[in-house]
Structure 1
Amino acid sequence: MKKVVKIAKSNKLKVLEDAAQCFGSRTSNGKFLGTVGDLGAFSFYPSKTLGGIGDGGMIATNNKKYFETITQLKNHGLKNSEHKIVGINSRLDSLNAFVLNEKLKIFHKISKTRNDFYKYYVDNLSDCDFIKLPKKENSNILLNYFTISINKNLRDKLMDYLKINGITTSIYYKTPVHQLPALSFMNKSFKLDKTVNASKTVLSLPLYPFAKKSEMERVVKKILNFS
């Protein structure tokens, strides 16, 4: 992010951070992700590190002008009972906001138990030679997914094996963005070999707060048995 911010400043550009999956994570010097740039966008979808009970999100900024504009945009462009600009209905409903406020009170426990699950995987799967585990850039990172890399010839087999044993895994994302039909108009002359390879080898294992030790043990045991 330091490099991105530096490039942006030198070219008089603004930085909007996609922090959808980063709530609670910090940089190596302790700065919260989503507050490094000019604006930061967070998601409160139920599966995120701070998840609500439906769709929702938040934009963070310390710029008063941006704040006032965003406040209008989220509420049909209203200001002082008049539509000053064209906006949308993007208000967070009260029940969802209530749940998120309550979860904020125990977010330290949510973070700890997610990190405990991460640590259990690392401690027990590091010697598993057919998978590559994710590595945190620093200890302040709170992972939203525990995404492993596995040989593309084994990925779907492991996924099916775990599914048969009642363990749900996911692939984020099976089709690279530049290969999606919706973006077929883009120039396809460029090659993104690493992106394509990642899409064929990644697999996200269960990772959630307040997991029981028996649940963590079961996932690890099945993966080791697969080998």
Structure 2
Amino acid sequence: MKLLKSEVKVPFLDLKKQYSQIKPLIEKAVLEVLESQEFIMGSQVTSFENNLKEFLGVEYAITVSSGTDALLASLMALGVKEGDEVITTAFSFVATADSIVRLGAKPIFVDISYDDFNIDVTKIESLITKKTKVILPVHLFGQSVDMIKISEIAKKYNLKVVEDSAQAFGSRTLTNKFVGTIGDLGCFSFFPSKNLGGAGDGGLVVTNNSDLAEHIKLLRSHGAREKNNSEVIGGNFRLDAIQAAVINVKMKFVSEWNRLRVEKANIYNNLFREFSLNKYIKLPKLSKGHSFNQYVILTDRRDSLFQFLLEEKVSCKIYYPYILPEQKCFKYLMKREYPIATKISKEIISLPIYPEISFEQQYKVALSIKNFFDKK
């Protein structure tokens, strides 16, 4: 068995390594913004949006201030209002659901699939009512939802679809289309920890509908086409030029970074099988199109394993310890059971995965988990 130095540390994410590889390009792009003094909208944002359109193969790409604001603006553009219902997953980051609530609408949570942690598409139709306006699937951890089935349901009931692709830039569906490009609107986040991340917050809305695109553009600038004359209530949803410049540089590398994430996921799976750990932990599916924003495993000894890994200098996270309906801000909603999401929330643990993680670091992770279960 390969020996490791005990001092090997494994950070959950190492953005410094990424930055060191593209530092001259990033600094040049940021300096151009500073020299232009064009900080809000402008040529950097336009260039970035054009490159996004070309990359994703969509008609319209509208950058916004965050992934959360991408969701909010999308729902606003679709006219979601008080009394409406939006069907979404019970297992995601809070922004998925709070964007619905902020408009006075009601999130209708659906349990998830045990295999991919995404919304269980077989349970959607039974929850559709006359108040249902939108289906909001989440491509969690970089793995695509079954968008064929989602699209069929939406068409059958004349519903709109907003894809929450915050964790899945560059992921593809089973039909090889980029996630976020199939529904009426697709939403992305450029938070620094994402596969394509900025130097702060940032987001994106994509669509092939010209009316929706124009509405999103209107909403992101306080609802105004001309200054000081707002047509509708909007918000300050604009992306800063510096963020556009930074992410525009990184976009040149994201396909290779995503390829490396899949490669690292394969290495984990192989190491865990080599150590016979698949009898103790459930490994993620290596589905076609997955981009592995997170590499997650399941174990009924999650909490003790989590603490053990931290002691071994292996950083890890829990996404998510609470399902959305259990969070305090949603306690007022009708109580239903979500057995799969609840079970997963008690067993899930995210391990370090990023393009720059070394084999030695991955081996340290796998060996640490083996040592934990060997002590059983």
TM-score range, shorter chain: over 0.9
CA distance in 2, matches of 1:11, 1:140: 28
Match of 1:42 among 158, 181, 188: 188
**1:211 pairs with 2:357:** yes
Quote the residue 2:280 is aligned against.
Answer: 130
Structure 1 residues 163-202: aligned runs within 5 Å: 163-188=310-335, 190-202=336-348
Quote the residue 1:67 is aligned against.
Answer: 213
TM-score by length of 2: 0.58
| Cα deviation digits, residues 149-184 of structure 1 (max 9, x gap) | 001xx2111111110111111111111111111111
Quote the residue 1:24 is aligned against.
Answer: 170
CA distance in 2, matches of 1:207, 1:155: 18
Does the 8 A contact of 2:170 with 2:255 survive in 1?
no
**1:142 pairs with 2:288:** no
Gaps of 5+ in 1: none
Quote the residue 1:115 is aligned against.
Answer: 262
Runs of 4+ residues deviating >6 angstroms: none
Pairwise CA RMSD:
1.2
| Helix, strand or coil at the partner of 2:160 | coil
| Helix, strand or coil at the partner of 1:59 | strand
CA distance in 1, matches of 2:170, 2:210: 23
The code of the aligned residue for 2:285 comes to K
Does the 8 A contact of 1:34 with 1:40 survive in 2?
yes
TM-score by length of 1: 0.94
Gaps of 5+ in 2: 1-146
Residue 109 of structure 1 deviates from its aligned partner by 2.1
| Cα deviation digits, residues 16-39 of structure 1 (max 9, x gap) | 111111111111221110011111
Does the 8 A contact of 2:262 with 2:290 survive in 1?
no
Does the 8 A contact of 2:271 with 2:363 survive in 1?
no
Query: What percent identity do the matched residue pairs reach?
Result: 38
The code of the aligned residue for 1:131 comes to I
Higher relative contact order (CA 8 A, sep 6+): 2
Deviates more, 1:200-209 or 1:216-225: 216-225
| Helix, strand or coil at the partner of 1:41 | strand
The code of the aligned residue for 1:105 comes to K
Deviates more, 1:62-71 or 1:216-225: 216-225
